[in-house]
Amino acid sequence: MRNPSPKRIGLAIVGAGRVGLMRGAIAARFPQVDWIGIAEIDPARGRLVGERLGADFVTDDYRQLLRRPEVTAALISTVGHLHAGPTLAALENPNKVALLIEKPIANDLGESERVLKAIRESGVDALIGYTQRFRRRWMVAKDKVASGGLGDISTVTTRAFLNRMVAENAYRREPDPLPNSPMVISGTHALDIVMWMMEGRRPVEVDARSVAKTLGPACGGIDATAGTMVFDDGTLYQSMVNWALPVSWPGAVYGLEVGIVGTSGVMTIDDTHRDFVMATDAPQGGAYLSDASRRVDFIGSTPAGDMALGALRGPLHDETQAWLERLSLGVRTIHATAEDGHDRLMLAKAYDLSARLRQPVALPISPADAGR
Sheet holding 153-163, edge to edge: 265-271, 254-262, 153-163, 236-245, 224-231, 203-211, 361-362
- Alpha-carbon distance of 334 to 139, in angstroms, equals 9
Could you give all domains of the chain from N- to C-terminal order, each with its CATH number? 9-132+322-336 (3.40.50.720), 136-299 (3.30.360.10)
DSSP H helical ranges for 164-278: 164-173, 182, 188-197, 215-219
DSSP class of residue 309?
A: T
Q: 172 Cβ partners below 8 Å, 6+ apart?
A: none
Strand-pair category, 153-163 with 254-262: antiparallel
Structural contact between residues 291 and 282, judged by C-beta atoms closer than 8 angstroms: no
Angle between the N-to-C axes of helices 18-28 and 43-53, in degrees from 0 to 180, rounded to the nearest 10:
20
Question: One digit per residue, pLDDT tens: the chain, 372 residues?
Answer: 555 689 999 999 999 999 999 999 999 999 999 999 999 999 999 999 999 999 999 999 999 999 999 999 999 999 888 999 999 999 999 999 999 999 999 989 999 999 999 999 999 999 999 999 999 999 999 999 999 999 999 999 999 999 888 888 888 776 676 677 999 999 999 999 999 999 999 999 999 999 999 998 888 889 999 999 999 999 999 999 999 999 889 998 899 999 999 999 999 999 999 999 999 988 776 656 656 778 899 999 988 898 889 888 999 999 999 999 999 999 999 999 999 999 999 999 999 999 999 999 999 999 999 875
Q: What is the pLDDT of residue 2?
A: 57
Q: How far is residue 177 from each of residues 61, 80, 99, measured CA to CA in Å?
A: 27, 13, 28
Helices vs. strands in the chain: H and E counts, helices first:
13, 18
Strand-pair category, 361-362 with 336-337: unpaired
Show the CA angle centred on residue 155, arms to residues 154 and 157, nearest 5°: 165
- Alpha-carbon distance of 190 to 201, in angstroms, equals 17
Q: Give the number of other CB atoms < 10 A from CB of residue 60.
A: 14
Beta strands in the chain (DSSP E): 9-14, 33-39, 57-59, 73-76, 98-102, 126-129, 153-163, 203-211, 224-231, 236-245, 254-262, 265-271, 277-279, 296-298, 306-308, 311-313, 336-337, 361-362
Distance of CA 203 to the CA centre of its chain: 21
Q: Give the number of other CB atoms < 10 A from CB of residue 257.
A: 16
Q: What is the pLDDT of residue 168?
A: 84
Helix (H) or strand (E) holding 349: helix 338-357
- Alpha-carbon distance of 208 to 240, in angstroms, equals 9
DSSP class of residue 222?
A: -
Q: 148 Cβ partners below 8 Å, 6+ apart?
A: none
DSSP class of residue 251?
A: B
Q: What is the pLDDT of residue 114?
A: 97
- Determine what percent of the chain falls in helix, strand and coil, rounding each to the nearest 5: 35, 25, 35
- Alpha-carbon distance of 126 to 120, in angstroms, equals 9
Q: What is the CA radius of gyration of the chain?
A: 20
